[in-house]
């Protein structure tokens, strides 16, 4: 298609937010645009933001679902703060998302949805398109419903079926606005609806109608070009954090020769991991959808005992239910892997929103002294590497391990430079040899890991369990001195993992005015804010923690290197308090947020600026 002869404006980065009714297909529209942007060489990061209800009443604020995409010709760390383009398919989407749009943003909306009844449902007293309240924005008032029906008229579909293709109109329009090709989307439609040629045809017609509308509409004075990013050579794919977690676990399984057994119960936002792993029977992955969270974790513990890589995936409330079983994994010293995709709590809390408030639960949420290895992934792609490492450490150190991710990075996506498995180390769990002199609690002198004696192996019959056992021999024992010794040994075993961890790095000068500390899924936002401040000449550094228990060995030096320290996290201060427990002499400042949303770069830079000015 030939574009009309108008200006092309080049932009370094753009944020688009797709919003509409839960059933409007905004997640798909956003994903298809993202894939096309990625294929054209842009770096990107995405984040879906949707309600807990599947189909809340139509045209209400409760039912608005969103998908934000940040793409650019430079390195993209986050899914962006405020958007340049807001697609709001109905008044409710406009009402609830205007706060996410920049002043001057372009808003694409379907004027066929602005009937008085629909406006009223969204809580508008007057039509915002006509009362002047949106004068700060460029509004593209597209008659999407009407043009969609016209576009597919030749196919003779009923209006209900025709309207299902409406989301393709906005997509086609955006492809025009950003000079992107339609090809990838057409291939996708042909594959997805291969058995419904009429549906493919309808969607294609509407997609092209949206594109042509862009060519003709007066409101678009120029199109935008975001050139390819100068990214490292390699083969890429787009990946969400939850899929990356599943694949990282599978990579560890391949490298250890231990087959995956996943015992899990569906829970938002972790269910994707169970769904993804259940696809890979071809690689020997065994998934077991348990009757509850407890059966999920205990079946995984049973699989560990039998010699598999036992995994359970969950989110906050599920982790609470698993607590007792985690203690069993600690005392039996089995390499259980727990993935906790954090969401807003307490209790059911905010199931579809993100938070980092399960840190204390991961560290301490068990009866008795029950230390476990805890690490936190810092981005969607890092979920792959963090899952691999969590499994590696669990298997080689014979300890249960928790990987913390969160709803934001679990659902969010970014570009993944595809690694080669030959670049990963072999994972070598300490499996006891047949007929060897095996004792259940004899330990490796360096790591303190016990050996793993797999049922079915000759000459290694033994019993383990939840009762305290004697050091080395593993007999049931209530001896107080033995219990104290075992308590210290279990703790020391986890602490010695620090011997293999890399030093905590500071991004920035080795010393300065303010060290910004963060952990887990907030990395992109905090890194962007710190880089911005550094470019403005401030002496600010960033230490982002992936290893939580144990902490890297140089943590004290890192926290002491700058004049002041600011710990940023999406909870009321759990990591800050954990650091205070470990390093009581170091004063820490906090920046906390519990709104179910990630940090924004703007609020972080404001806080950092304030801290610098105070100093």
The residue ranges that bind another protein (CB under 8 A) are 35, 38-39, 41, 184, 228, 231-238, 247, 250-251, 254, 259, 261, 263, 280-284, 286, 288, 290-292, 294-295, 298-308, 310, 324-325, 327-328, 332, 418-421, 454-467, 475-476
Angle between helix 26-39 and 166-177 (nearest 10): 30
22 in helix, strand or coil?
helix
- In whole angstroms, the minimum distance from the beta carbon of 351 to another protein comes to 23
Distance CA 257, CA 255 (A): 6
User: Which segments of 467-522 does DSSP mark as H helices, in order?
Assistant: 480-495
- In whole angstroms, the minimum distance from the beta carbon of 310 to another protein comes to 7
Q: Is the dihedral of CA 594, 598, 604, 606 positive or negative?
A: negative
- In whole angstroms, the minimum distance from the beta carbon of 567 to another protein comes to 35
CB nearer to another protein: give 418 or 536: 418
- In whole angstroms, the minimum distance from the beta carbon of 240 to another protein comes to 13
CB nearer to another protein: give 4 or 192: 192
CB nearer to another protein: give 57 or 228: 228
CB nearer to another protein: give 169 or 247: 247
Distance CA 517, CA 380 (A): 20
Distance CA 239, CA 291 (A): 29
CB nearer to another protein: give 93 or 297: 297
The answer to whether 415 and 231 are in contact (CB under 8 A) is yes
Distance CA 571, CA 569 (A): 6
Distance CA 526, CA 591 (A): 11
Distance CA 266, CA 161 (A): 31
Distance CA 162, CA 156 (A): 9
List strands edge to edge, sheet with 13-21.
Answer: 138-142, 101-110, 83-88, 13-21, 64-72, 43-49, 413-417
Q: Token pair for residue 8?
A: 């092309």
User: H or E segment at 402?
Assistant: strand 401-406
Paired with 549 in beta bridges are 374
- In whole angstroms, the minimum distance from the beta carbon of 468 to another protein comes to 12
CB nearer to another protein: give 303 or 568: 303
The answer to whether 482 and 441 are in contact (CB under 8 A) is no
CB nearer to another protein: give 57 or 257: 257
CB nearer to another protein: give 292 or 606: 292
- In whole angstroms, the minimum distance from the beta carbon of 449 to another protein comes to 19
- In whole angstroms, the minimum distance from the beta carbon of 207 to another protein comes to 18
- In whole angstroms, the minimum distance from the beta carbon of 491 to another protein comes to 21
Distance CA 390, CA 337 (A): 7
CB nearer to another protein: give 44 or 151: 44
CA 74 distance to own-chain centroid: 21
- In whole angstroms, the minimum distance from the beta carbon of 62 to another protein comes to 33
- In whole angstroms, the minimum distance from the beta carbon of 592 to another protein comes to 36
Cα end-to-end span (Å), the chain: 58
CB nearer to another protein: give 117 or 420: 420
CB nearer to another protein: give 143 or 302: 302
DSSP 500: G
CB nearer to another protein: give 135 or 422: 422
- In whole angstroms, the minimum distance from the beta carbon of 277 to another protein comes to 12
Q: Token pair for residue 138?
A: 């460029």
C-alpha torsion angle, residues 376, 382, 387, 388 (rounded to 10): -130
- In whole angstroms, the minimum distance from the beta carbon of 50 to another protein comes to 23
Q: Is the dihedral of CA 316, 317, 321, 324 positive or negative?
A: positive
The answer to whether 231 and 220 are in contact (CB under 8 A) is no
Distance CA 322, CA 338 (A): 10
Paired with 141 in beta bridges are 109
């Amino acid at each position: 298609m030939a574009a009309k002869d108008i200006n092309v404006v080049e932009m370094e980065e753009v944020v688009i937010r797709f919003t509409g009714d839960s059933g409007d297909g905004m997640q798909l529209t956003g994903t298809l645009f993202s894939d096309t942007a990625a294929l054209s060489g842009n770096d990107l990061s995405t984040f879906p933001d949707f309600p807990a209800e599947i189909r809340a009443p139509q045209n209400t604020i409760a039912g608005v679902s969103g998908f934000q995409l940040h793409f650019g010709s430079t390195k993209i760390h986050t899914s962006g703060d405020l958007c340049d383009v807001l697609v709001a398919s109905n008044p409710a989407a406009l009402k609830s998302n205007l706060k996410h749009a920049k002043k001057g943003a372009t808003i694409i909306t379907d004027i066929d949805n602005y009937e008085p009844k629909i406006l009223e449902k969204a809580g508008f007293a007057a039509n915002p398109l006509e009362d002047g309240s949106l004068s700060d924005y460029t509004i593209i008032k597209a008659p999407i419903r009407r043009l969609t029906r016209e576009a597919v008229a030749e196919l003779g579909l009923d209006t209900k079926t025709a309207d299902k293709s409406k989301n393709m109109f906005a997509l086609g329009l955006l492809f025009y606005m950003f000079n992107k090709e339609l090809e990838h989307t057409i291939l996708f439609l042909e594959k997805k609806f291969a058995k419904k040629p009429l549906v493919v045809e309808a969607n294609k017609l509407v997609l092209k109608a949206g594109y042509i509308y862009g060519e003709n509409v007066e409101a678009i004075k120029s199109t935008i070009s975001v050139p390819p990013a100068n990214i490292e050579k390699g083969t890429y794919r787009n990946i969400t954090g939850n899929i990356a977690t599943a694949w990282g676990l599978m990579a560890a399984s391949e490298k250890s020769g231990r087959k995956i057994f996943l015992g899990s119960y569906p829970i938002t936002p972790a269910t994707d991991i169970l769904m993804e792993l259940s696809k890979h029977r071809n690689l020997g992955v065994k998934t077991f959808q348990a009757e509850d969270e407890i059966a999920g974790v205990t079946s995984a513990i049973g699989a560990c005992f039998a010699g598999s890589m036992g995994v359970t995936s969950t989110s906050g409330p599920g982790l609470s239910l698993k607590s007792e079983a985690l203690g069993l994994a600690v005392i039996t010293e089995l390499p259980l892997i727990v993935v906790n995709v954090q969401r807003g709590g307490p209790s059911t809390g905010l199931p579809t929103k993100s938070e980092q408030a399960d840190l204390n639960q991961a560290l301490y949420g068990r009866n008795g002294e029950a230390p476990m290895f805890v690490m936190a992934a810092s981005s969607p792609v890092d979920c792959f590497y963090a899952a691999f490492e969590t499994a590696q450490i669990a298997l080689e150190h014979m300890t249960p391990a928790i990987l913390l991710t969160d709803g934001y990075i679990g659902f969010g996506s970014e570009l993944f430079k595809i690694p080669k498995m030959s670049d990963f180390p072999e994972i070598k769990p300490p499996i006891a040899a047949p007929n060897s002199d095996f004792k259940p609690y004899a330990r490796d002198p360096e790591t303190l890991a016990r050996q793993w004696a797999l049922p079915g192996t000759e000459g290694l019959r033994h019993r383990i369990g939840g009762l305290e056992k004697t050091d080395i021999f593993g007999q049931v024992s209530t001896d107080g001195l033995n219990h104290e010794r075992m308590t210290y040994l279990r703790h020391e075993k986890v602490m010695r993992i620090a011997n293999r961890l890399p030093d905590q790095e500071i991004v920035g000068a080795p010393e300065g005015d303010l060290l910004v500390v963060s952990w887990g899924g907030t990395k992109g936002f905090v890194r962007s804010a710190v880089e911005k401040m550094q470019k403005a000449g401030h002496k600010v550094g960033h230490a982002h923690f992936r290893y939580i228990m144990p902490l890297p060995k140089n943590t004290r030096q890192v926290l002491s290197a700058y004049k002041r320290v600011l710990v940023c996290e999406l909870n009321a201060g759990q990591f800050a308090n954990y650091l205070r427990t470990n390093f009581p002499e170091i004063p820490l400042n906090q920046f906390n947020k519990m709104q179910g949303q990630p940090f924004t770069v703007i609020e972080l830079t404001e806080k950092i600026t304030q801290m610098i000015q105070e100093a």
